[in-house]
Chains A and B, each alone.
Chain A
């Protein structure tokens, strides 16, 4: 591993690159799931994707720092393991709530509600972590309007891909409650994220515990709400050919989430989460360009796509240009000091970690790291050998073009993180 180069790029721009890369990958995560043509229940789909997320965590991310580093990092901040598990549970419960929301009020009403999660994240960022405290009015306005623009853009893009609504009006109240609940949970999930990074934890360590919390909660929910273990296993057995696509979706998602974690670390949640929420535009690009989901769309729908895309670019540009400086950085350091005083952490070391320095904690990879990676990859290969490819019309030219963007963003994001912080 190379030494971090502090002068190579500012942490603000590193965070912006990570946030935008997260958007590209999180948006692409839905693409493989479109190849699932069997009648799996939403609980089984969620469980398989999260199992894929868990397995993918142990593929190439294992080689970035090695398990010795992750174990040492988790051991030095044991209290944060609870937070990461909590964040995983919040994600899983929110995801299940969206199933109920779609059932009861339909995507058209539910989607805008849970997409406001970044505004809830912004509220917690200000109230709990002193983000934007001491920032000038121009910076505050850019972040707030940028976040609102991205929420509006996500709603416009969401509407553009809707084709009818099958909701039951009699359960509208319940559906709205479920959607608002999902928004609350997905907005609050970023509290543990920020907490961990203000305490100097490495995102790879956080994601490790996060995926455990996520998998345990999804498993429990699928067990309890999906008809029990027997029904669940029978369902998975019937749909063996579809599992690879869900696991692949989980793989793409975990890459996006890792970049989102780094964005939360280097930008804060007020700026990092709206940038990651640009995933909507990439999700739509995969749906429309590869799977032809907008074929036959009228001019009104296409106008929504155009307006949504422009609003998203404006929002992302506003947030990207709102770098924290001066008093706002002092506020961040005060929030960090609170963590150090409360949990007995070394202030200087934590500050160095927060600024992308390992503070002598880097360790090499061991033989078992390679064995873990081989095992995780073998799971994907085994599932891939059983994968059923549905007869679905896809435009392979566009798929190749979006795959190139995916790869380029990974290279730019990965090299930036490596050169600037050595994945710290």
Chain B
């Protein structure tokens, strides 16, 4: 599997998007709470 195809699969995976969204929420909270 090529890197590009693999990246596309990961970035369109609902499980990845849920985890990434949680991380972004966490980082946003950290920046806001500083």
A93 touches B23 (CB 8 A): yes
Pairwise interchain contact B23-A124, C-beta atoms closer than 8 A: no
- Chain B: which residue is nearest A80 at the CB level? B10
| Complex CA distance for A79 and B2, rounded to whole angstroms | 11
Q: A181 to B29: give the CA distance in the assembly, Å.
A: 7
A-B interface pairs (CB < 8 A), number: 73
Chain A residues with Cβ under 8 A from B29's Cβ? 97, 100, 177-178, 181
The interface residues of chain A lying within 8 Å CB-to-CB of B4 are none
A181-B29, A195-B15 known; A82+B10 contact, CB < 8 A: yes
Report A374 CB to chain B, min CB distance, Å.
36
Which residues on B sit within 8 Å (CB–CB) of A191?
Answer: 15, 18-19
A86 at interface by CB-CB < 8 Å: yes
Given contacts A79-B6, A82-B10, A177-B33, contact A185 B18 (CB under 8 A): no
B1-34 CB contact bits vs A (8 Å, 1 = yes)? 1000010011001111011101101110110111
In the complex, whether A247 has a CB less than 8 A from a CB of chain B is no
B18 touches A188 (CB 8 A): yes
CB of B15 within 8 A of CB of A128, answer yes
Chain B residue, CB-CB nearest to A120: B22
Contact with B along A109-124 (1 / 0, CB 8 A): 0000000000000001
- The residues of A that contact B9 with a CB separation of less than 8 Å are 79, 342-343
Chain A residues lying within 8 Å of B6, measured Cβ to Cβ, are: 78-79, 343
Does A184 sit within 8 A of B, measured CB to CB?
yes
Given contacts A93-B26, A128-B14, A343-B9, contact A86 B33 (CB under 8 A): no
Question: Which residue of chain B is the closest to A128 with respect to CB atoms?
Answer: B15
Answer yes or no: A225 CB below 8 A from chain B CBs: yes
**Bound complex: CA A342 to CA B19 (Å):** 18
Q: Are B19 and A192 in contact (CB under 8 A)?
A: yes
Say yes or no: A221 contacts B30, CB within 8 Å. yes
Q: What are the residues of chain A within 8 A of B25 when measuring CB–CB?
A: 181, 184-185
Whose C-beta in chain B lies nearest to the C-beta of A187? B22
Instruction: Please count how many residues in chain A sit with their CB below 8 Å of the partner chain's CB atoms.
Output: 33
Contact A79:B18 (CB < 8 A) given known A94-B26, A174-B33, A184-B26: no
Q: A79 with B10: in contact, given A97-B30, A178-B33 (CB under 8 Å)?
A: yes
Interface contact B19-A225, CB-CB below 8 Å: no
A137 close to chain B: CB less than 8 A: no
Q: Which residues of A contact B13 (CB under 8 A)?
A: 342
| Residue in contact with B26 in the complex, picked from A79, A104, A181, A343, CB distance below 8 Å | A181
Residues of B whose CB lies within 8 Å of any CB of A are 1, 6, 9-10, 13-16, 18-20, 22-23, 25-27, 29-30, 32-34
26 contacts between A and B (CB under 8 A): A78-B6, A79-B9, A82-B16, A86-B23, A87-B19, A90-B19, A90-B22, A90-B23, A90-B26, A96-B30, A100-B29, A128-B15, A128-B18, A177-B32, A181-B29, A182-B26, A184-B25, A185-B23, A185-B26, A188-B22, A189-B19, A191-B18, A195-B15, A221-B30, A225-B30, A225-B34
Q: With A79-B6, A90-B23, A185-B25 given, name 16 new contacts (CB 8 A).
A: A78-B6, A83-B19, A86-B23, A93-B26, A93-B30, A94-B26, A97-B33, A128-B14, A174-B33, A177-B32, A181-B29, A185-B23, A188-B19, A191-B18, A221-B30, A344-B1
